[in-house]
Structure formats: C-alpha cells, structure tokens
A and B are shown apart, each in its own frame.
Chain A
Amino acid sequence: MPEQPGKNAIEVRGVRKVFGTGENQVAALDTVSVSIRENEFFTLLGPSGCGKTTLLRLIAGFDFPTAGEILLHGQDIAPLPPFKRPVNTVFQSYALFPHMTVAQNIGFGLEMLGKPKAEIEARVAQMLKLVKMEALKARRTSQISGGQQQRVALARALAPQPKVLLLDEPLSALDYKLRKEMQIELKRLQHETGITFIFVTHDQEEALTMSDRIAVMSAGKILQVGTPRDIYDRPAERFVADFIGETNFLQGTVVSKKTGVATVKFAGDATIAAGYPEGFDPSGEVTLVVRPEHADLVPDPAKGTIAGTLSNIVYFGTDTHYHVRLEGGQDFIVRHQNSRSSPVTYATGAKVGIQFEEDAARVLKY
C-alpha cells in the first residue's frame, strides 16, 4: 500500500489488543489494519463483541494497543494519553457531567485546553446554535430529554474542533423515530463541520444509510471495507452477506471458471455463471448468495432459473416475502415490493419458478 501522508485521517497498522493474561487471554483485536480518509463518514459495523468498540477506544486512547501503530495525519498517537489526542468521543451513554449545565458541559474541553474565556463563550454559543439547544443552555443535564442529551454530547465533542470525532453507538438509546431524525442530523453535522467521523454501530441499516464507507468486523478482524453498495451488493464473505440485509444461501459446486466468473451447479440441475470476490479461488463446494429482492417469481416453473414449491407467504406491508422450497430441500425467499395492483396472486403449494439475473448471484467460500 503506498504511503499517502496527509490523505488519511487515521491509519491503523497491524493493531492487536489482547485482554487478560495467561490462559484467560482474549484477542479483542487480531492484527487489524485500516485507513480512514479525511472528511469521511466511516462506520465500524459488527455484532457485539466483534472488537469495534475496542478499536474506537484505542483510537481515543482509553486503551493501549498490545502491538501495532495508530497514526493520526501520519503521526503515531499510540504513546499519547487521551487528553493529548486531538480526537473527541461521543459516548454511548453520553457521559454528560451531571453537576454541570449544558453550556458548562460544552465548554469543558475548551476550558481544559486553556482557551480564553471569550473564545470559549463564543464557541459554546456557536455549538448551541449548531445543535439547536440555545434555549436550554442553563439547564442541568439531568433536566433534559434523551434526544437533547444526545445533542449536548455531540456539541461537547465537536466544540474543541477535533481532527476526528468518534461516535460509540450514540443512537442506540434513542427510540426509533428519534433515531431516524438523529441519523439525518449527524450527516448534516458531518457535512457542516467537515470533520472525519468514525461511527460504531451494530445496526446494519444505520450503517448503510449514513456511511461513506463501512468496515464490517467479526471476531476481532475486519472482514471487508467498502462503500455501502460494495458491501451490500458484493459481499466478500459469507458473514458479511449474512450480517447485512437478508440473503439466500444456496449450496453449489463449481463446474467451470473464467476470470472473475465461475459457473456453479446448484439446486439439482440449475447452473449459473456468477462473479466472485477478489482473492478467492472458487472450486468444489461453494456458497451462492442471492438477495431476496434481486429475484423474481414466475408462475411457470419451467421459465425460471430454478423451480420450487411455494411453502409460505408473509405479508410485510411494504413488501411480501415468498418462501419457496427448492427441489434439493433448501429454502429460498423472494421479496416483492407491493404495489396497488400486484399483477399475479400466488397460493401456497403452487409450483413456481424463481428467476434472477446472473449478476444478482455471487459465489462465496462455502
């Protein structure tokens, strides 16, 4: 990888973090490397315990890596304690100081940096305006709602104008509607401030809608880094495909292979030529993944890519899920968006065909 100093806000190089000693050793991060660009909304996505929060804490300086380097604008920050890093955090629990007012909370970082009083006041006023909290600046943090606390936490972390803002599942404590609102608000703040955001979440939908790029993590490793589209449409691993969105997994066997495309036999006699990720050499048993909404249902079993029996129909309001039992015994789900006039109605037990384009399928390691 060519060095591009100044281009990357954060560069994590070969970072390992081991907790515990002796037999109880657990590697929370197993030699992770990733580059986060300037002005990027970067998301660390993964299930709980995957190491995403550990990585965030290492960047913030609350924990120190067992091995590896963390570079901020090309400078190694690993030896710096948190209070010397130009990086601020929005905590999951917000961690607002309960004995201070909203304004005092927001001004705390600047005060600790020894900024003159006038500057602090001006900056606090600016921040209060940015998060629309001017009216509540004299309130104690215990006297405001969860959504308002969230805004104060954001303003407090943004006030010192950090080079990078770290957000540790900041929306998880909010209810659904407020969360949607804050997602848009966060995007707006990132645009307005031009600060690099590193956002940690286990919510794949949140990650897809907000991020410029996503790193999918599992068991202390980064499995794939890419744009939301990359991750969703071209998952590099079975875990990524499974964790993000709904997916049909079909077992198959490679019959032939060209550059970037493998022909796979599956579900009895069906064959399809589908793409596979870089660095993977498909052969023998493989997994074929197809998103439910990338497939279509046809009434004539012979006209589809594969045939099956409709076993269940589940209505979801915006769309309908058709569960199809394939000949080999596997299940396949097809998602249809509902419209005012759905052309065909199906009944359970009907023989149907499933149709999908070759580029809708992807070949992954079994």
Chain B
Amino acid sequence: MNIDSIQNGIVIDHISAGKGMKLYELLGLDKLDASVAIIKNVHSDKMGKKDIIKIDADIPVDVDVIGFVDPGATVNVIKNEKLAEKRNIEMPNRLVNVIKCKNPRCITSTEQELDHIFKLTDKVNKVYRCLYCETKAN
C-alpha cells in the first residue's frame, strides 16, 4: 500500500497498533481541512505492528495528547520532503481539556466553564486521575 510522501507536514510514527484512531480523534484531525492519512497495522521490525498518521499540513500538534495516548510514538516534522525535526514525546504531568471525566458525580459534570484537568499519578502504570474527583481516566 502506498501513501504519497508529504512536502510540508507532520508524520506521527511508531504509534502502538490500534491507537492511531484515538490519537486522530483527540488531536482533532477530523476537523482539519487538509489531507490526513491513518495507516493501520503497518509492519514494524521493532514493534511487530504499528500505526502511522501523516498530516499534509504544517500544523502545531499537541504533544501532550500524544504523550497521553502513546508516549512511545514519535513526531517528525517534514519540510520540503525532508525530516526537519524529530520531537521526543513524554507523558505530560497534566492534561487540560483533552479528555472529560466520566464520573457522573464529578463537579465537572455540572460546573460550566471548568477546565477538565487530569494529572499523572502513576507514571509506571500510566495512570491519570481527574484533578477534582480523582477518578481514573480510561
């Protein structure tokens, strides 16, 4: 399967297989007026299978979102069809307005204009908890 190379844009590589779609949604790429390719289950010597997202536009991507979904992913910035920058991804200590708390008893379910904030409470097990009610993020 061939996907054309991009001239100026972003390639999110080494995404754990199956997480590409979640990343696509959380990065808001569905709202982007540019070509975006999600390539699923690509063969990888290192990972076995991986997902790749190619964005044909030089847009700012929220590395906190990538760090939350899959800290093992890499972000490559392409300029003039060449790799211009490789960004390291880390798990963010705080996530602001990326995901919503699903606890119906949480104050965020009723209080308008409240930021939805999650904090990293267990780096080893990648656990994020709601800042307000401490419910675990799914």
Q: Do A and B come from one complex?
A: no
- Interface residues of chain A, those whose CB is within 8 Å of chain B, are none
